[in-house]
Chain A
Amino acid sequence: MLANFLIGLREGLEAALVVSILVAYLVKSGRRELLPRIWAGVALAVAVALVFGATLTFGPRGLTFEAQEAIGGTLSLVAVAFVTWMIFWMSAAARGLGTELRGQIDRAAEGGRWSLVVVAMLAVGREGLETALFLWAATQAGTRDTAGSVTPTWEPLLGALLGIVVAVALGYLIYRGAIRLNLTVFFTWTGAFLIVVAGGVLAYGIHDLQEAGILPGLHDLAFDVSEVIPPSSWYGTLLKGVFNFSPATTKLEALAWVLYVVPVGVLFLLRNRIVRPTPQPQEH
């Protein structure tokens, strides 16, 4: 039960984080009318993932392992590009807000309206395929006759769904917290936080491509702390869900993380002219 719950929680968190910050931003900047776009992106991603998952599970054709990893990896890289764009778009719009230049924000939001759909869709869809495959497998387990080597049960499905529910609830709490922050603090913290999150997504995408054999160095580890942070523990799950932290990180992943987080972070802080410390996970 716990193991399936944690899988749902991890996959759910990865999506809920970006979506909650996106929503918080629109609400804070008085762009509530754009919210449907976000939900449209989320709904689209969920629907596509479920249909894909069902087709691949029950249909006559499956996806090769390389293709699954290549798609996951490529989508991760695209998601990083979009989230990065979003961070700077938000901070540009925030400057507009600060100087009360409403027209400027409108133009910014206008320019970003479709991009909002794409960001929401990528945030949810990136892990969506894998989650959908998991959920369909779980429904199969629940309905399977006793020919299987384990007793059929709905328990895995229930566990995974509970995990997703908790992830959404956590996303909502983050949203509530973000709403209460003043604007400057909001942009600094969410922006810096998203950079670290995006760095994790990038590293994860690199790992997928390494597993697919497209990039080399899968077994060249920078560090391995699997003993201390087991990936199936609750804290391992949270670190993975929030920061995409992998206990066994390859050198290429670590390099990509540093090469992304450091320049983007510096650029972000310079643009926001902020001197306060930013949240950095100790683990990396």
Chain B
Amino acid sequence: MRKTLLASVAALAVVPALAACTENASSGGDDEGGDARALSVTSNADTCELSSTEAPAGTLSFDVTNSGSDVTEFYLLGSDGLRIVGEVENIGPNLTKKLTVNAPEGEYFTACKPGMVGEGIRAAFTVTHAEDAQEVSASDQELIDQAQDNYRAYVQDQSAQLLAKTRDFTELYKAGNADDQARALYPVAREHWERIETVAESFGDLDPKTDAREADVDVAAGEEWTGWHRIEKDLWPQDAKGYAALTPAERTSYADDLLANTEELDQRIQATGEDALEYSITDIANGSIGLLEEVANGKITGEEEAWSHTDLWDFQANVDGARVAYEGVQGLLETKDAALAEELTSTFAALQAVLDQYRDGDGFVLYTALTKDDTKKMTDAVNALSEPLSKLTAAVTS
């Protein structure tokens, strides 16, 4: 009887081990497919460096080396940033441990956790389609789930970055002696807002407080103008007639208000459980359409950034957001209307090519530098895209 007990304990340990064995990815250099799936990670106190941020689907191996002085961990997380696809713990200083995982095509996050606490140092990781990967059967429902997961992760990631940069921006602005730095960060921080503008705008209480333009505020009716564009005017007062600069106390009050509203926005976007935002396939497709409309209505006209003239940053960010939302449902669209998918992919590329002509360093030329011909070219490219894009929702939900 005792022997039976022993045997069952042993079986308990061995059976799952055998059932769950997985190929150790090839470490030999002669097989190219194997190479692309063998990645290395270097982790120390402040960095988490990967040899590549993408790999083909299949059995991936991560050689995680700890070059820091504290114990570290490495995680591969699902697109929601929560589900653990694989992890290696207890990597002591000077050690290399291997993580082997089976990863189907999709978006992931990698995270190093020096000291084994907190969220870790995260980065996006993409597993690309591979012909030789194990077949991952993807039904429509799986494509839909994947699109929703990916889109949620994207919105949450952008929101977190928006919050971090808004925090930096408001600090610089409040300091009073760092206006140049604040002006440099302004369009960069707002990119994250513009990429998820359709989601951010859906909060009717927060949007007017953070993103209202002066022209939209009815001061006579007792409305107060706050948010990004209020601060924008104070940082770029040269076009304003007889403008009186804000006092340090007013600066602090507007900056704190903007940060508080951004924190609230981020909190709602990051919410989990019952309060979690739902993004249906319709929402995602409509979001793509909506973001392109934003371009046509505000950015191409130069109305959005009336004082800073950094409209092209917003333009690019709106297009980014529209493209990411489209790409989220692209797999689904390909199974329903392959021709439309092809047309959308090429018109997105064409619009990007037009926009790329106006790059200047890390950013873009100011809107005031554009000629009528320039804006005409942009309008044409936007119109060329908006026509097929308007069919997207109907096509993916059919």
Give A residues with C-beta under 8 Å from B: 1, 3-4, 6-7, 52, 57, 59-67, 70-71, 74-75, 78, 113-115, 117-118, 122, 125, 130, 133-134, 137-138, 140-141, 144, 148-151, 153, 155-156, 159-160, 211, 213, 218-219, 226-227, 230-232, 247-248
Contacts and interface: CB of A to CB of B under 8 A. Distances in A.
21 contacts: A3-B70, A4-B93, A7-B71, A61-B24, A62-B24, A62-B61, A63-B20, A65-B85, A65-B101, A70-B20, A118-B5, A134-B90, A148-B65, A149-B67, A150-B96, A151-B94, A155-B93, A219-B82, A227-B117, A231-B71, A232-B116
Given A70-B16, A118-B9, 19 more contacts: A3-B70, A3-B92, A7-B90, A60-B24, A62-B21, A63-B22, A64-B21, A64-B86, A64-B101, A67-B22, A74-B12, A138-B95, A141-B96, A150-B94, A155-B93, A159-B92, A218-B84, A219-B272, A231-B116
B84 A59 contact: no
A155 B12 contact: no
Contact of A118 (B6, B87, B98): B6
A64 B92 contact: no
B22 A61 contact: yes
A6 B71 contact: yes
A57 B22 CA distance: 12
B21 A74 contact: no
A117 B23 CA distance: 33
Interface in B1-46: 2-3, 5-6, 9, 12-13, 16-17, 19-24, 40, 42
B52 interface: no
Contacts of A137: 91, 95-98
B242 interface: no
B12 A230 contact: no
A66 B117 contact: no
A71 B15 CA distance: 9
Contact of A61 (B9, B21, B82, B92): B21
B118 A141 contact: no
Most chain B CB inside 10 Å of its own CB: which residue of A52, A113, A149 = A149
A70 B92 CA distance: 23
Given A64-B101, A65-B86, A4 B20 contact: no
Contacts of A64: 20-22, 86, 100-102
Interface residues of B, number: 49
B99 interface: yes
Given A150-B67, A226-B118, A61 B93 contact: no
Contact of A78 (B9, B70, B97, B272): B9
B69 interface: yes
A60 B85 CA distance: 21
Interface of B: 2-3, 5-6, 9, 12-13, 16-17, 19-24, 40, 42, 61, 65-67, 69-71, 82-87, 89-102, 115-118, 272
Contact of A71 (B13, B69, B83, B91): B13
B16 A59 contact: no
Most chain A CB inside 10 Å of its own CB: which residue of B61, B115, B117, B272 = B117
Nearest to B19: A67
A65 B87 contact: yes
Nearest to A133: B97
Contacts, number: 146
Contacts of B67: 149-150
A249 B183 CA distance: 43
Contacts of A141: 94-96
Contacts of B84: 65, 211, 213, 218
A67 B93 contact: no
A75 B16 CA distance: 11
Nearest to A1: B93
A246 B94 CA distance: 25
Contact of A155 (B3, B94, B115): B94
A115 B92 contact: no
A250 B17 CA distance: 26
A122 B23 CA distance: 28
Contacts of B85: 65
Contacts of A117: 6
Contacts of A247: 117
Contacts of A113: 2
B87 A211 contact: yes
B16 A71 contact: yes
Nearest to A67: B20
Contacts of B71: 3-4, 6-7, 231-232
Given A65-B99, A231-B115, A130 B20 contact: no
A61 B85 CA distance: 18
Contacts of B90: 7, 130, 134
A60 B26 CA distance: 8
Nearest to A82: B9
Contact of A150 (B3, B65, B100): B65
B13 A75 contact: yes
A118 B3 CA distance: 10
9 closest residue pairs by CB, A with B? A67-B20, A4-B92, A65-B86, A114-B2, A226-B117, A62-B100, A62-B24, A231-B116, A64-B22
A65 B61 CA distance: 11
Contacts of B91: 137
A125 B14 CA distance: 13
Contacts of B16: 67, 70-71, 74
Contacts of A140: 96
Contacts of A151: 94
